[in-house]
Structure 1
Amino acid sequence: MPPQETTSDIVPLMQKPNSEEASTTDEIIDDPNDVSHGLVHDFVEFGDKLIEAEVDTGEACSLTKLYKGFLMSVAYLDPGNLEADLQSGAAAGYSLLWILLYAHIAGLLIQILSARCGVVTGKHLAQLIRIHYSTPISIVLWLFTEIAIIGSDIQEIVGTAIAIKILFGLPLWVGTMLTAMDTFLFMLLHNYGVRKLEAFFMTLIAFMAVCFWVEMFQSEPNVGEIVKGMLIPAVPRGAVVQAVAMIGAVIMPHNLYLHSALVMTRKTDPSSKAKLKEANFYFSIESALALSCSYLINMAIVVVFARVFYIPGKLKALPGLYDAADVLTKTLGRGARYLWALGLLSAGQSSTMTGTLAGQYVVEGYFGKIFSKSWHRVAITRGIALMPSMFVAVFAVGHFDTMGELLNVLQSLCLPCALIPILKLTSSKEVMGHTFRSHHIWKYITWGLAFIIIGFNLFLFIMYLEELPNLYVGYVCGIIYFAFVLYLAILPIGEKQEDLEIDEMDGYKVIANRLEIVQ
């Protein structure tokens, strides 16, 4: 049964089937326990503009449905990732490839949950948090998310500035100021629709893949050592920080918000369990393909610097994003320098734009419709992250190689504040319904990942505690942070009654969040 076409903002959650329309292959949602389905995805309100479903899932299986996940994969290929990759290869050779692999697998499981949230509920993560958590908790979660976006933006802005310096010789502060211009490019592409934006990003990803894989083949890596590094867990003594930072660089908090919103750009029939399951299936395949590409690109960078920089048993100062170009020039020739810069420029531009898009979803998801025009939304949400990012980048750009590692650690600290809510929401029958909530082993695996990440954060906190200028302040902040994370894990999700919207349509009362149908 094809999806219902409508031009209304709120549409019937379930058409009353008759014997002629009923289909044995298209199961109608009639389980009273499945109360989460029904926000039709043809149009979802977002500020002054609607998130339009531009891709129809259709009736049959088709590879044309596998498109949206590659925009999400950009967040796994930002300059922070590249720096974590090159430093792990430089510090540990091929030994940390297994962490990179497992981090992408963990990211895949979490991204699947994020996509499922949007498909089944018709709301993205920020909107669901605003509905199911109290206002003070929502504000704290928003602050953590904005901190993560700002930290990611600093890496992207400085990474782009370094690429511009390598290519054109401009000072870093000039390149940093030029990165503000990408906001106008984003606004231009966004006005042409998400499909055009994704096509642009996929081009940049392909360009990164070509640049970094050419360099990997030039370095003549040891294939046997690569396979060994992927399969045998080992962390050299001097590479513990790089191992932990890699996790923070791969799984980023704002990517969960972005993916849960992007799925609403596809038409899905919410009255059919079969169609919702099909949509979840295709989004899972998309995520797997996108993160496979991301892993291969990240792996290429680790392999290159394991080959050209790492010497077993000898400790050397690790290169940063700019120093990496000099290292490649000495070992692979001058052409490798420009391949690195072009790949870095592509990573910086693409991830900056996805950060801007995620920032829009986050701000309006938490605070509702607060912008009157589309360009207001882009300019203000971009400015929230851009202004402090540029301030730090301009005045601390000379220390970015040290700062990049700390920013990856910051991402890891912010991650539980996005991960725990999505795990609780997808495990809730009231939110996801009985059919689509996380069950049994899937639930245990994802919560196990959350506790592993929190454990890494505790390790990082203890490691960096002695480096803080004020040990007492460090203890206080650490206790507050871990107490909040624990409180968030045990806090049951609720629902704000003021967020319920009731509308009358075709003889039905539609209660948008509870999704109950009363004739």
Structure 2
Amino acid sequence: MDAVTSLPRSPAAASLSESHRSVAVPVGGPFWRRLFAFAGPGYLVAVGYMDPGNWATDIAGGSAFGYTLLSVVLLSNLMAIVLQALSARLGIVAGLDLAQACREHYSRPVSVALWVLCEIAIIACDLAEVLGTAIALKLLFGLPLVWGVCLTALDVFLILALQRFGFRKLEAFIVALLVIIAGCFIFELFLARPDMAGVLGGLVPTTEIVTNPAMLYIAIGILGATVMPHNLYLHSSIVQTRAFAHDEAGKRDAITMATIDGTVALGLAFFINAAILILAAATFHVAGRTDVADIDQAHQLLAPMLGVGAASVVFAVALLASGQNSTVTGTLAGQIVMEGFLHLRMPVWARRLVTRLLAIVPAVVVVGASGDAGATRLLVLSQVVLSLQLPFAVVPLVAFTGSAKIMGVLVSPVWLRMLAWGIAAVIIGLNATLLWGML
């Protein structure tokens, strides 16, 4: 059956089956009504682009190198927009999430290898999110990091509670936290008063980013923290929560709406990521504090250096909202990957608890062994690990969406395929440069 006109899968076989096609989309009618019905998945995906791992890399980059790495944040975000548009296209047209597509179209050994690599990426991502939430709880309430890490297990039940009221309620919760994060950073930037000429200059790439090993390490960490592999699996699944028409016209319209939703949401993610780096550059770098790479240290220094006591509290509130948001979407991504690659069926709460424990157990071990001082270093390292895993998600995604056999007449146009393969080449090239430097 043609990939464009095929009917949706049965709920039992569908990606994220408990929420599959649960959000109605108007047929016809005003453009804004259809766009509003599609708004949501992009914001769940955008959460992963501003998680605590981003905080660690952005603070380190802004403190050490001023505004220079803003260009990396911008380019990473533009790459993310293209790749997320492809991810949504795969879910809409083929009716498969990326994990399911890998299982169906690759041999068993290749599929298993990709699953293992994806699980490593999810553990690295969840590790950052769990640690970020724990650090925020420590900053706000003095709770020891180990206890904060253990408390993040409750996120599993938060997701279940929200989804009982419908997927739109979960999306509304995520958007509300995003608004809090954005508001916190608008306040922080108002206090920091960054140099706008320096900000604009930082958006232009320089060769120093590649030639300076220390800068390259942070740059690749920013790339890994921004273009996160598990988000490609997540978007291809949650876009299928929309009950759009499954003929060619309906899918074309769905692709347009999902692309707009994702682009606007990732625009917000760029603002927040850039704001973190700008805040670190305007507060620490200009004062000669190029050594600030620790979230805890940044929290302690913000109030005295900005001269406003509330600055540190607002910073910690934004971090807590970021960590909470990211753990919710990270757990969803873990469920999607496990089900898609393995066809593993178990109670929803059990699947999500397993996913969360894969992050909590390593986090408790690391915090217990290295203490609070190692937490932020682990955050940066986790983002570099994510970047190294990226090609194993990006290459299959670009290949699937460029295949007429899978996508039918809605295969990616030639210009989009060329752009996507170019992005994949840049990611692989940067990773190879990092590995060569380390060796």
TM-score normalised by structure 1 residue count: 0.79
- Partner residue, 1:507: none
Q: Contact between 2:126 and 2:356, CA under 8 Å: does it hold in 1?
A: no
**Aligned counterpart, 1:501:** none
Partner residue, 2:202: 229
**Residues 247-299 of structure 1: per-residue CA shift (max 9 Å, x gap):** 1110111000000001100012112x221111100111011100000011111
Report the counterpart of residue 125 of structure 2 in structure 1. 152
Which residue of structure 2 lines up, in the alignment, with residue 450 of structure 1? 424
Aligned AA (1:54) = V
Q: Is 2:215 the partner of 1:239?
A: yes
Say which SS state the counterpart of residue 14 (structure 2) adopts: strand
Q: Is contact 1:211–1:340 with CA below 8 Å preserved after alignment? A: yes
Q: Which has the higher helix share?
A: 2
**Cα separation, 2, equivalents of 1:393 and 1:51:** 38
2:25 to 56, 60, 68: 56
Structure 1 CA distance, aligned partners of 2:362 and 2:193? 42
| 1:368 correspondence with 2:338 | no
How far apart, CA to CA, are the structure 2 residues paired with 1:105 and 1:42? 35
What is the CA distance between 1:234 and its match in structure 2?
5.5
- The one-letter code sitting in structure 2 at the alignment partner of 1:56 is V
Are 2:152 and 1:191 equivalent residues in the alignment?
Answer: no
CA deviation after TM superposition for structure 1 residue 231, in Å: 3.4
Return the alpha-carbon distance in structure 2 between the equivalents of residues 77 and 42 of structure 1: 34
Show the counterpart of 1:122.
Answer: 95
Residue by residue, what CA displacement relative to the aligned partner does 1:134-174 show, whole Å, maximum 9, x if unpaired? Answer: 11111110111110110111111111111111111122222
| AA at the equivalent of 1:288 | T
Say how many residue pairs are matched.
Answer: 429
Deviation at 1:123, TM superposition (A): 1.2
Taking the aligned partners of 2:10 and 2:313, their CA distance within structure 1 comes to 44
Q: 1:361 to 1:106 in 2, by over 3 A?
A: same
1:378 and 2:352 equivalent? yes
Instruction: Give the 3-state SS of the residue equivalent to 1:463 in structure 2.
Output: helix
Distance 1:35 1:240, change over 3 A: closer
| Higher mean C-alpha deviation, range 323-332 or range 106-115 | 323-332
Instruction: Supply the distance in 2 between the matched residues of 1:188 and 1:140 (Cα, whole angstroms).
Output: 34
Partner of 1:40: 8
1:341 to 280, 302, 316: 316
Q: Which moved more, 1:396-405 or 1:248-257?
A: 396-405
Whether contact under 8 Å (1:79, 1:155) holds in the other structure is yes
Query: How does 1:132-143 map onto structure 2 within 5 Å?
Result: 132-143=105-116
Match 2:72 to one of 99, 110, 121: 99
- The offset of 1:235, in angstroms, is 3.7
CA contact (8 A) 1:108 1:291 kept: yes
Give a deviation string over 1:186-240, Cα, whole Å, max 9, x none: 2211222211111000011000000111101110111222122123546464523
Give the match's secondary structure for 1:403.
Answer: helix
TM-score by length of structure 2 reads 0.93
1:284-433 aligned at under 5 Å gives the runs 284-311=259-286, 316-332=290-306, 333-371=308-346, 373-396=347-370, 397-433=372-408
AA of the residue aligned to 2:126: D
Deviates more, 1:79-88 or 1:185-194: 185-194
| Equivalent-residue separation in structure 2 for 1:173 and 1:456 (angstroms) | 34
Q: Give the Cα separation in 1 of the matches to 2:349 and 2:425.
A: 40
Q: Secondary structure at the match of 1:319?
A: coil
**Offset of residue 329 of structure 1:** 1.7
CA distance in 2, matches of 1:446, 1:57: 31
Q: Deviations over 1:439-491 (max 9, x none)?
A: 322111110111111111111112223xxxxxxxxxxxxxxxxxxxxxxxxxx
Give the AA of the match of 1:252.
Answer: M
**Aligned 8 A contact 1:82 1:301 in 2:** yes
The answer to whether residue 433 in structure 2 is matched with residue 459 in structure 1 is yes
Alignment-mate amino acid for residue 99 of structure 2: A
2:167 aligned partner, one-letter code:
V
Decide whether aligned partners of structure 1 residues 239 and 47 sit closer, same or farther in structure 2, where only a CA change above 3 A counts.
Answer: closer
In 1, the alpha carbon distance for the partners of 2:121 and 2:422 equals 22
* Inter-CA distance 385–163: structure 2 relative to 1 (3 Å threshold): closer
Give 2:244's aligned residue. Answer: 268
Looking at structure 1, the residues matched to 136 and 96 of structure 2 have their Cα atoms a distance apart, in angstroms, of 37
Instruction: Answer whether contact 1:66 1:285 (CA < 8 A) is retained.
Output: no
Equivalent runs, 1:196-211 vs 2, <5 Å: 196-211=169-184
1:475 alignment counterpart = none
Whole-angstrom distance in 1 between the partners of 2:235 and 2:278? 29
Amino acid at match of 2:271: L
Aligned CA-pair RMSD: 2.0
Write the distance in 2 (CA, Å) between the matches of 1:393 and 1:191.
34
Which residue of the partner structure matches residue 252 of structure 2? 277
Question: Secondary structure of the residue that 2:20 maps to in structure 1?
Answer: strand
Number of the residue aligned with 2:228: 252
Once the two structures are superposed, what CA deviation does each residue of 1:396-446 show, in whole Å capped at 9, x if it has no partner?
34312222221111001111111111111111111001x211232211111
C-alpha change, 1:393 and 1:362, in structure 2 (3 Å) is farther
Residue 382 to residue 403, structure 1, CA distance change in 2 (3 Å): closer
Higher relative contact order (CA 8 A, sep 6+): 2
